[in-house]
Chains A and B, each alone.
Chain A
Amino acid sequence: MIAEAVAPIFREAALPVEAAHRPAVRSSRRPRGLEGAAVALAVLCVAGLILLPLACVFAEAFSAGSSGFTAVFSDEYARDAIVLTLQIAAITVVANTLFGILAAWTIAKYRFPGKALLLSAIDLPLSVSPVVAGLAILLTVGVHSPLGAWLIGHGMRVAFAPPGIALATIFVTFPYVARELAAFLQEQGRELEEAALSLGASLWQTLWHVTLPNARWALLNGILLCNARAMGEFGAVSVISGRIRGLTDTVPLHIEILYNEDAFAAAFALAASLACVTIALTLGRSWIERKTGGHPSVE
């Protein structure tokens, strides 16, 4: 189904559940002779394609020494951008975690027709260009739309303001928590919840004391991914923000501004810091996956 198809990290999507319980049929071994050259060639390709750009980010960030690196953080506009990015990420994570818990619970614990359709609708933002996502939010809440005009009439500025940035970010990270959690809860079945309810627990108590503690790693996994994407989002935010310095300028947008002003050291210092955060979040996800043994495909 579509839900399986457009996962951001494909190792979980491509691996059917039953494969996890199958004994490993293929064991890897040390390369021999010509195979060593084949391995070296693969390492070289990946190093050229991926490691080189990554190294470039950090080399440029420290091209003016460590004082050059830290200089950007004393700039007022950069600090405003960092604060806005943290605020937007916090709002997005809270909103999409609440929605994700609700959607995953609905999908995993109830029977209803059109479940596959609902899953596909939740996944839609993953296949939409970030620019189109930003445009969709802009056309919906911008001043030219009836809703936007009404909002402006009541003193609420959404487009070209932080609320619009939050909406666009929520849109592009909408599916992450929901799909991560739904996959886990569907595997778990309903027995625990049914037992808790039959023993007199309320629905709320069941969710809070039974379902969520059980699913904490899947939940955390989705939250880390949602957070990483929220902090790094560029295309959608770029369309909706209007790029007003100090007001609607997020970290990725500020990187673009600095770069276009030829302030390369500052742009890369900010880029390297942001990359460290998103890479750390990704490593956190790998750690969780190893710890829970949910995705043995890689090892």
Chain B
Amino acid sequence: MARDSIPGRSLALGTTVTLVTLLVLIPLAVVGLTAGGMSGERLSAALLSPRALAAFRLTFGASLAAAALDVVLGTYVAWILVHYRFAGRPLLDALVDIPLALPTAVTGIALATLYSAHGWAGRVLEAHGLHVAYTALGVGLALAFVGFPFVVRTVQPVLATLPVDLDEAAASLGADRSTTIVRVTLPLLVPSMLAGFALALARALGEYGSVIFISGNMPLRTEIVPLLIVTRLEEFDYQGAAAIATVLLLASFGLLLAINTLQRRLTVARSGT
């Protein structure tokens, strides 16, 4: 290895690694160790109780559904933003970032009020028999809200840098516009759509503030996993909380690995063009 041209490596590296270890790695390890110290019986009681299973089903189900909706809607909006110039475009572009800019508690009370029986949207939907507040649908909606920017901001730059001559080549070979989109453009977008999906999913799995107000938090029905962790803590069941948290941690690390792989393929694919 070449010698460093700038002095101070050991000190800088040592301090950085120490701080990361103290502030990030040790606290996360403590969660895993707390769960690891439980007997198999206690562990299965914490993770396999009907209440915990219902929470896992709701969190994973609603997160998957929300991320899927985000992929469809997000890719569509990214497409519109990249291809067309129109009066409201800067506003549309700015609105995409709002879910990331709003504090989660603010999002939470806004969605709960909006979709309650007396809210602007809730009133209309309830008249048509559609209940959003205090249902799994409301949980999914809140998760779709927070995950939306992740898909748009992952797909948009890829779409913007697709070579325009691909479209022209397809058209010159006789493909109509819809064939070009389905056979040429969409396949090139798939890696970025998958990356956006995984990012939205990762965010949704751990989401707390945006969800707990609209969900109503009924055990077995609308209780998400992060809320169950908080409930266990309020019962001073620290081990139970740590066990559930460890499952959530493992899920997000698995997703992180998937995103990591996808993103690398994305970069390779694009630098190859």
Contacts and interface: CB of A to CB of B under 8 A. Distances in A.
Given A4-B263, A31-B84, A132-B249, A53 B77 contact: no
A13 B16 CA distance: 23
The 3 residue pairs across chains A and B that have the minimum distance between CB atoms? A129-B206, A232-B103, A10-B153
Q: Which residue, A54, A193, A274, has most C-beta atoms of chain B within 10 A? A: A54
A135 B229 contact: yes
Given A49-B144, A264-B113, A298-B156, A105 B23 contact: no
A127 B252 contact: yes
A111 B1 contact: yes
Nearest to A240: B233
A297 B157 contact: yes
B103 A26 contact: no
B88 A132 contact: no
Interface of A: 1-2, 4-6, 8-11, 13-16, 18-19, 22, 24-31, 35, 38-39, 42-43, 45-54, 56-57, 60, 99, 102-103, 105-106, 109-113, 118, 121-122, 124-125, 127-133, 135-140, 142, 144-145, 167, 170-171, 174, 190, 193-194, 197, 203, 206, 228, 231-235, 238-239, 252-253, 255-256, 259, 264, 267-268, 271-272, 274-275, 278-279, 281-283, 286, 297-298
A166 to B, nearest CB: 11
Interface string B1-32: 11011111100110111011001111110110
Contacts of A113: 1
A47 to B, nearest CB: 8
B103 A194 contact: no
B191 to A, nearest CB: 11
Contacts of A137: 27
A35 B106 CA distance: 35
Interface of B: 1-2, 4-9, 12-13, 15-17, 19-20, 23-28, 30-31, 34, 73, 76-77, 80-86, 88, 92-107, 109-114, 119-121, 144-145, 148-150, 153-154, 156-165, 192, 195-196, 199, 202, 205-209, 213, 226-227, 229-230, 233, 238, 241-242, 245, 248-249, 252-253, 255-256, 259-260, 262-264, 266-267, 270-271
Contacts, number: 329
Contacts of B207: 129
Nearest to A273: B106
B196 to A, nearest CB: 8
> Which of A110, A121, A259 has the most chain B CB atoms closer than 10 A to its own CB?
A110
Contacts of A30: 84-86
A124 B95 contact: no
A127 B253 contact: yes
Given A10-B154, A50-B148, A252 B105 contact: yes
Nearest to A229: B103
B160 A297 contact: yes
Nearest to A15: B157
Nearest to A135: B245
B160 A26 contact: yes
Contacts of A238: 208-209, 230
Contacts of B88: 43
Contacts of A271: 103, 105-106, 109-110
B258 to A, nearest CB: 9
A135 B241 contact: yes
A74 B98 CA distance: 29
